[in-house]
Structure 1
Amino acid sequence: MLEVGERVYGEQSTGIIVHLPNSFVFSKPIKNYNKAFKYIWNEILVKVPIDCDIEKTKEKLYEIINKNEIVKRIPKKMSDQVDDASLEYRIYYNKLKPIIYTRIVDNHIELYIRYLVHPKKNRNVENDVWLDILNAYKNNEIELYTE
């Protein structure tokens, strides 16, 4: 088994081989990122000023996440897998498209962009989304909170 995430940010392989004795397999929970279906939910936290135009900001963030080629293909591929997994694991997802959750914290707003992604493509998608967010910020299309 390959180690993921301990020494490298972004849940990519570190190149370290991890040995799991059989006794460990039967005594500890093991996470399998793609047994039931091939995709995981990822979230990107974007902090914006409390006085920003929240509707305009969310609209721009939806535009950014929905234009990502990898993300926009997933709901079509995922629906059959979710149906199959729900029979065996009691997993029910009604919404497979990206969603943005809003939370007010102290003197800023936290926007959580939640989307489905294949575990091996997660870091690339997140990188592309952040680059698009930075471009939107540079073009004065959104504001970002800075402490």
Structure 2
Amino acid sequence: MNTWESIQYWLTEHPTSSQIFKYVLWVVIIVFLLQFARRTLKKRLPNTDTRYKSQKIIETIGYILLIILTISYFTGNIKDFTLAIGLLTAGITITLQELILSIAGSLFIFFVKVYQPGDRIEINGIKGDVIDINSMYTTMMEIGQWISSDNYSGRIVKLSNAFVFKGPVYNYSQDFPFIWDELNLPIRYGSDVEMAKKIVIEVAREVLSEYVQKSVEQWKHVVEKYYIEDAIVDPTLAITLTDNWIRFNLRYIVDYKKRRHTKNRLNELIKKAFDDSDGKVQLASATFEIVNIPVLDIKKGDTPRA
């Protein structure tokens, strides 16, 4: 009896082992085909975004095929298959709620396009750039925490996809990749206010012109897609009188990834323009001026009165 005949005899005499062997063989074949498909698409698709999405689609198909294979192979017929599906669903719902929510969340994220790799989001109190989404987790490069402004902290955060069902998701870049920011300037009383206003607006228009032009077109798409009013994307200036100075509040639109750089550029150019105004415009500071000190007239020899 040769080796092949021995294997056939063993499989015939041990039906349970035969079923397991065939199941494992099918799993190996499916995994091999999926891996082959992933490698082929990875080589032939030049676009990074398309390549990434294709990998995730193949991964999802693989999970579905393996689940169907596992259930159908060990049940035998459609009736048992339906019963097994019901029992399996009930069991998983009770024992693996978080796992199911995570998988459902990944499908929800993918089909509804809540966010995608490259988007800047805030979810469950964590803000960062999405760098990967799989069937269980969303991976983010964290922003903020002990780092000021919108800078990377260096920590990579893995967050369960189930959180898309548990709270709001703030997306900084979807549909409208711009945000509104503000710059407050304390102007000293006695300064030429009209000159100060002209300087601030001119500098803002110079620095922000590119963002304004791009945001106008983007905002049109937002208005067409959502029930929302038109917005002012040009820089606007509001003035408030305080006890210590005149506060200039500059409101402007900026690319969500260039907020810190843009604010620094505005501060530099406005400060330089104020310095070149020959003292007509001055920035204020929190200083205290003593208006009057009471004069004490004390003569030698005077007896203090009670």
| Kept after mapping to 1: 8 A contact 2:204/2:235 | yes
Q: Percent identity?
A: 28
What's the CA shift for 1:60? 0.6
RMSD: 1.7
Cα gap change, 1:146 to 1:105, in 2 (>3 Å): same
Q: Gapped runs of 5+ residues in structure 1?
A: none
Cα gap change, 1:12 to 1:141, in 2 (>3 Å): farther
TM-score normalised by the chain length of structure 2: 0.44
2:154 aligned partner:
15
Larger radius of gyration: 2
The residue type paired with residue 49 of structure 1 is R
TM-score normalised by the chain length of structure 1: 0.87
Cα gap change, 1:89 to 1:18, in 2 (>3 Å): farther
- Which structure has greater helix proportion? 2
Tell me the SS of whatever aligns to 2:170. coil
What's the CA shift for 1:80? 2.1
Out of 227, 243, 246, the residue aligned to residue 90 of structure 1 is: 227
Q: Gapped runs of 5+ residues in structure 2?
A: 1-139, 287-306
| Kept after mapping to 2: 8 A contact 1:40/1:116 | yes
1:4 aligned partner:
143
Cα gap change, 1:91 to 1:19, in 2 (>3 Å): farther
| Kept after mapping to 1: 8 A contact 2:183/2:249 | yes
1:82-132 deviations in Å (ceiling 9; x for gaps): 111123333333422111111122221211111111111111111111111
Cα gap change, 1:50 to 1:121, in 2 (>3 Å): same
What's the CA shift for 1:141? 5.5
| Kept after mapping to 1: 8 A contact 2:193/2:281 | no
Q: How does 1:81-120 map to 2 (within 5 A)?
A: 81-120=218-257
The residue type paired with residue 101 of structure 1 is A
The residue type paired with residue 110 of structure 1 is R
